[in-house]
Amino acid sequence: MRAHIGDQLVVESPATGATRRDGKIVGVRHDDGTPPYDVRWSDTNDVTLVYPGPDAHIHHIEHRPHGERAEAKTPGSEEPSHRGLDPGDIGRRAAHERRRQRLTRAEVAERAGMATAYLTYLEERPANPNLATLTALADALGTSVARLRGGGADLPPGEGKAADRAELRELGPDECRERLGTHGVGRVAVSRPDGLAVIPVNYEIVDDAIAFRTAPGTVPAAAVGSEVAFEVDHVDEAMSQGWSVLVHGPARAVTEPDAMRRLSERAPSKPWAGGEHPLWVLIEPERLTGRRILTD
């Protein structure tokens, strides 16, 4: 491991790979750039002597020749410092709440007693801040640690506030197929003598058809031999966004041994409900429709 002054030291969780802590290297003790380093931590602004372990790595910053200066940026700028990264849920929730209150990163960081650069990092990367940092950030945003962590996951989706400016857009067939993905959890609607029933099932896409496993005599098994509806959706509570895809088509049982074996071999996972599910059902899509809610 070698570093220069100005590089970033990132310490990650060995279990998840999420960032636990990061800081700027402000001192290098050896001419060859090997450890230890003096690091100014982004979350506390304290400088400590660090001997990096196996869970740490260096993010090298471009070092310009002497006298050549980088373009200055406005403090608290909203310009992301990391492109193409998918931030973690905590960062997305924090960023959404901050923008909803029309606060800058500098304002929130000052309230939370942390560096603006660290808040930027939290919002843009899948970080795993400690409880003290989360508490300070929640207080600064007027929310709770539980909300930032996604508390209320067991509550019905969509209890969050609607966005101020939202747009409902229809999805084309190709977009619908893309959002169906390769597998997931959806809901099959079947008509029974005692009324309409809607049941969640694990599914996968096989040659453009929707396949799921069940047991004979169950509600999902009643789909065989009839026209059914199959629905998949996603709700993003943090961003007040979401989408849904609805599939209509006939359902049939797969009875050929070779076809059943191929389906079992290709299945990415077992049904979450557990137990024996020997019956494979295929839904042949005849019509796909979808909608998506977009926000500014």
100 with 136, same domain: the answer is: yes
Q: What is the CATH number of the domain that holds 112?
A: 1.10.260.40
Residue 174 belongs to a domain = yes
Q: Are residues 34 and 105 in the same domain?
A: no
Per-residue pLDDT at 272? 78
Residue 178 lies in a domain: yes
**Residue 65: per-residue pLDDT:** 40
Q: What is the pLDDT of residue 87?
A: 60
Residue 13 belongs to domain with CATH number: 2.30.30.440
Whether residues 142 and 38 share a domain: the answer is no
pTM of structure: 0.54
Residue 75 lies in a domain: no
Decide if 68 is inside a domain: no
Looking at the domain assignment, is residue 217 inside a domain?
A: yes
Structural domain includes residue 159: no
Summarize pLDDT for 133-168 with one digit per residue, the tens.
889 999 999 888 887 887 655 666 666 667 677 888
Task: Say how many domains are in the chain.
Answer: 3
pLDDT of 18 reads 60
206 and 111 both lie in a single domain: no
Mapped to the 3 state alphabet, what secondary structure does the chain carry? CCCCCCCEEEEECCCCCCEEEEEEEEEECCCCCCCCEEEEECCCCCEEEECCCCCEEEECCCCCCCCCCCCCCCCCCCCCCCCCCCCCHHHHHHHHHHHHCCCCHHHHHHHHCCCHHHHHHHHHCCECCCHHHHHHHHHHHCCCHHHHCCCCCCCCCCCCCCCCCEEEEEECHHHHHHHHCCEEEEEEEEEECCEEEEEEEEEEEECCEEEEEECCCCCHHHHCCCEEEEEEEEEECCCCEEEEEEEEEEEEEECCHHHHHHHHHHCCCCCCCCCCCCEEEEECCCEEEEEEEEEC
Amino acid 156: pLDDT:
65
- Domain identity same for 177 and 286: yes
For the chain, list residues with pLDDT below 50: 63-85
Whether residue 99 is found in the same domain as residue 49: no
Q: Is residue 164 part of a domain?
A: no
Residues 175 and 141 in one domain: no
Range of the domain at 132: 89-148
